[in-house]
Amino acid sequence: MKILKLTICALLLVLTANAQKPKVSWVSSTNNEVWVTKKYKPSKSKKASDISIAIDTKKREQKIDGFGGCFNELGWEALGMVTSEEKQQILNDLFSQETGCKFNICRMPIGANDYAVDWYSHNETEGDFAMENFSIDRDKKRLIPYIKEAQKINSDIQIWASPWCPPSWMKHSKHYACKSNPEFNDLPEEWSSTEELVSRFITEPKYFEAYALYFSKFVKAYEKEGIDISAVHVQNEYNSAQNFPSCVWKPQDLGIFISDYLGPKFKADNLDAEIWLGTVERPQIERVSDVIEYKNAKDYIKGVGFQWAGKGAIEAVHAKYPEVQLMQTETECGDGSNDWKAAEYTFNLMKHYFENGANSYMYWNMVLDETGKSQWGWKQNSMISIDSKTKAIRYNPEFYLMKHLSAFVAPGSVKLASSGDDDQAIVFYNEASKQVVVLAYNNSEENRDIQLNINDKQIKVMVDPKSFNTISVSL
């Protein structure tokens, strides 16, 4: 009987130890070997780790809403170059909630952006303040089919939208561009200006009213197509005068538009679409606060979206408006290099945005041809490239970097504070699954030991040189 009791006690101790042992999964990517599933073996080494990160699951920060990219016309054109089976595989790799990147929040333009096939808006009939000629027929050729294919894979995907330019007749120049470039547009030189803080939009009541109606009609038209617009960001890069579709706004004028026209219009029309201030691409907080603080604009503004140099403002905005949602709206798109260095740079952007309160992270072009060129001359990166001659499909390093986060950090997860050697790591926690997710980059040319001290548990892994590693720990 005594032996039996001892055996039972020993068995209980083993079972208890196993029950307390965290379950660890681990995926790693280097420039030469991507998306490699690693087997975790608890280390018995007493040697101090090269990198030690302390994680307390009670130290919770912002909730994470998700990840995505932008639906652009040239992306749909690129997808049209491959077979239907290859196209479906690419879409699955982006949107599948089982095996893909699990994208759940994506952007789209209202009218043309720099990755449209050519310039258009949804109403180019000058003086049509009643928007009688408003139409989204152009979008039925490319953008709507693109979004519909994504919806077939993930029916819950959220779509938010922003204009690069209003209908051209609403601008003083009557032209979509703000900067003249004879190679790419026909904007007369006398209307070309890169001056900031001066509105190119005609800031008269009838134009404001018509533009608010334009937004409302856009949301309603897409709803009829079975696409709910979750939010509108009022102007893409409202400080930037470009040779492609663009419109500079004085911040106070944006405040007037939101407070006195767009907000009341959405309310009167009972639209569910949120209004966001975006997309912010300058580091000065005044260019945000001057909009938010105008009259009652803050009653309508549900969030602020940042991209490019806007990363310099997000920390201050988060501190001043802690209740406001924050979004990273467009990854800096490089110069078409599509290389490992670009992925390293994007990782640092991710780290910066999430450390400063961002709720979500957007890539820019999900798919492009091998040139990566816009119709206005800028060569940019994409997650996936399709060669227009050979039809070869290439998944670029940034595809895997995005997946290293988006496939593991579920919507509703929270960003966790961490300490120690965490300058190359971002940490999240999902309460529902009791899972900690760590994205860590080894920026060294040598193998490194990483030790994760999660509450009272220790996880130690040896990571490859120059590797992204997603380590998921079920507690």
Strands (E), 79-203: 105-110, 158-163
First to last CA, the chain: 36
Q: Which domains does the chain possess?
A: 23-61+416-474 (2.60.40.1180), 65-408 (3.20.20.80)
Q: Between the CA of residue 316 and those of 311, 321, 415, what are the distances in Å?
A: 10, 8, 18
* Distance, CA of 28 to CA of 442 (rounded, Å): 10
Q: Which residues of the chain have pLDDT under 50?
A: 4, 6-7, 9-19
Question: Can you say how many angstroms the Cα of residue 325 is from the centroid of all Cα atoms in its chain?
Answer: 14
Looking at residue 12, its pLDDT comes to 46
283 phi/psi in degrees, rounded to 5: -85, -10
- Mark residue 259 as left, alpha or beta (left: phi above 0; alpha: psi -120 to 50; beta: remaining): alpha
Cβ–Cβ < 8 Å for 288, 277? yes
How far apart (Å, rounded) are the C-alpha atoms in residues 83 and 119? 28
